[in-house]
Amino acid sequence: MVQWKSLKGLVENGDNYEVSTSGFVRNATTGRVLKGQGDGHGYLQVTLALNKKHRRYRVHRLVALAFVPNPDNKPLVNHDDGNQHNNCYSNLVWATNQENLKHAFDNGIAKAKQGEESNNATLSNSQVAEIKKLLMERKPQHEIAKLYGVKPQTIRYIQHGKLWTHVHVEGFKTFKSGVNKPNLTADKVLKIREAYATGKYKQAELCKMFDVSSRSMTDLINRKTWKHI
């Protein structure tokens, strides 16, 4: 059963208006239901008038104020099903800013910006393409990072397919643990450690000499891998 509640005392200019549990707002004197207008962000809004003053409100917020408890005093209202026109009180939930953002992404209302479209991007799509080509040429990650002014972790994430996956470079394959195993043998590990022990070679040089990734080289030199050798 549809219930109506007065907006008087809930919002400014609400004295002569009522809101329903089904998501409608009407003039309490004339009974006329106000026609919601789009606000440019996908929500419906109505204008409440009093003493020649006008105030606009989103319908879902008026419904929530009247019928949805908010014991934690959360500032925002979410549409539980993601439909911004479904303003029934049972579809509305009070939320924090963080909860609202997560809800928007979970329901496809907002989409994360990728790559150079992101406000935090320090690389362009073309630079990432160049980085992937350098990785294919087995250039050490720390050298690539220095060349492009980013952290080595960024290069590692690109190589592992955790960042910039939308930038396609023919022949580039992401590194996956257990799939792209480094080409190492016990004999090669011994030679690498012997060469490194001489102090004549840097890790980057050994990577090229023995065709081993920078991460694998660091791990075996520090005996995080191949401990039995």
Give CA separation, 198 vs 35, 192, 206, 225, in Å.
Answer: 82, 10, 12, 20
For residue 187, the model assigns a pLDDT of 80
Task: Please name which of 118, 119, 72, 120 lies closest in space to residue 99, comparing C-alpha atoms.
Answer: 72
Cα 178 from chain centroid (whole Å)? 28
Q: Phi/psi class of residue 175: alpha, beta or left (left: φ > 0; alpha: ψ in -120 to 50)?
A: beta
Structure confidence by residue, pLDDT tens digits, 87-99: 999 999 998 888 8
| CA neighbor of 33 nearest in space, from 84, 12, 22, 9 | 22
Helix (H, G, I), strand (E, B) or coil at 43: coil
**Every domain of the chain and the residues it spans:** 4-106, 115-170, 181-229
Summarize pLDDT for 123-178 with one digit per residue, the tens.
Answer: 788 888 999 999 888 888 888 988 888 888 888 888 888 778 888 888 888 875 44
The pLDDT confidence band at residue 179, using thresholds 50, 70 and 90, is very low
pLDDT tens digit sequence for 53-111 = 999 999 999 999 999 999 999 999 988 888 888 999 999 999 888 887 776 666 655 55
CATH of the domain spanning 4-106, picked from 3.90.75.20, 3.40.50.1980, 3.40.1010.20, 3.40.50.620 = 3.90.75.20
Residue 18 has pLDDT above 60, yes or no: yes
Tell me what the mean pLDDT of segment 205-210 comes to. Answer: 84
User: What distance in Å separates the CA atoms of residue 55 and residue 39, rounded to the nearest whole number?
Assistant: 13
Read off the amino acid at residue 50. Answer: L
* Positions of E strands within the chain: 4-6, 17-20, 25-27, 37-38, 44-50, 53-58, 76-79, 92-95
